[in-house]
């Protein structure tokens, strides 16, 4: 369940998106990438993923220079997001700015790879 605090923080982050986030979102929004729905600044537990495709359980994180100083925190964060059933791929902001087509292609490959993985168990009857 999402907390109101996380939802409010996600809304704030969407309003103050960085240039790389806006550029990548332009490639992911409105099911532009292979017809899949992406969410930006999507709460997952206490964390907020930059982008998430819930259908394929894929999180996309963009890292800027500030992430170099937070490697330990980011590792813990990624482990917890993965424990929630998501797979995480990361790109540097500079990669999005200088080679956006390559980033989108890497995401497309990850989506195809992850689609071939067995679905996670959700404990649902059916």
Helix (H) / strand (E) containing 63: strand 58-63
Q: Is residue 84 part of a domain?
A: yes
Average pLDDT, the chain: 83
pLDDT band, residue 73 (cuts 50/70/90):
confident
Q: What is the CATH number of the domain that holds 54?
A: 3.40.960.10
pLDDT band, residue 125 (cuts 50/70/90):
very low
Each residue's pLDDT tens digit, 22-66: 999 999 999 999 999 999 999 998 898 999 999 999 999 998 866
- pLDDT above 60: residue 124: no
Structurally, the chain folds into a number of domains equal to 1
- pLDDT above 80: residue 114: no
Q: Is residue 120 part of a domain?
A: no
Quote the pTM value: 0.79
How far is Cα 45 from Cα 19, in angstroms, rounded to an integer? 26
- Of 71, 60, 50, 64, which is closest to residue 95 (Cα–Cα)? 64
Q: Is residue 85 part of a domain?
A: yes
The DSSP bridge partners found for residue 62 are 91
Q: Is residue 121 part of a domain?
A: no
- Write out the residue range of the structural domain in which residue 62 sits: 4-115
Q: Is residue 24 part of a domain?
A: yes
Structure tokens given for 118: 């067995």
Q: What is the pLDDT of residue 7?
A: 62
pLDDT band, residue 10 (cuts 50/70/90):
low
Residue 95 or 116, more confident: 95
How far is Cα 100 from Cα 73, in angstroms, rounded to an integer? 27
Q: Is residue 45 part of a domain?
A: yes
pLDDT band, residue 1 (cuts 50/70/90):
very low
């Amino acid at each position: 369940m999402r907390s109101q605090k996380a939802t409010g923080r996600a809304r704030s982050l969407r309003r103050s998106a960085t240039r790389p986030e806006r550029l990548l979102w332009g490639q992911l929004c409105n099911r532009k990438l292979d017809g899949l729905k992406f969410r930006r600044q999507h709460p997952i537990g206490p964390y907020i993923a930059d982008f998430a495709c819930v259908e394929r359980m894929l999180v996309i994180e963009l890292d800027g220079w500030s992430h170099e100083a937070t490697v330990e925190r980011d590792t813990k964060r990624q482990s917890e997001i993965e424990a929630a059933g998501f797979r995480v791929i990361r790109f540097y902001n500079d990669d999005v700015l200088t080679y956006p087509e390559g980033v989108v292609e890497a995401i497309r490959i990850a989506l195809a790879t992850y689609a071939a993985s067995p679905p996670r168990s959700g404990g649902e009857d059916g």
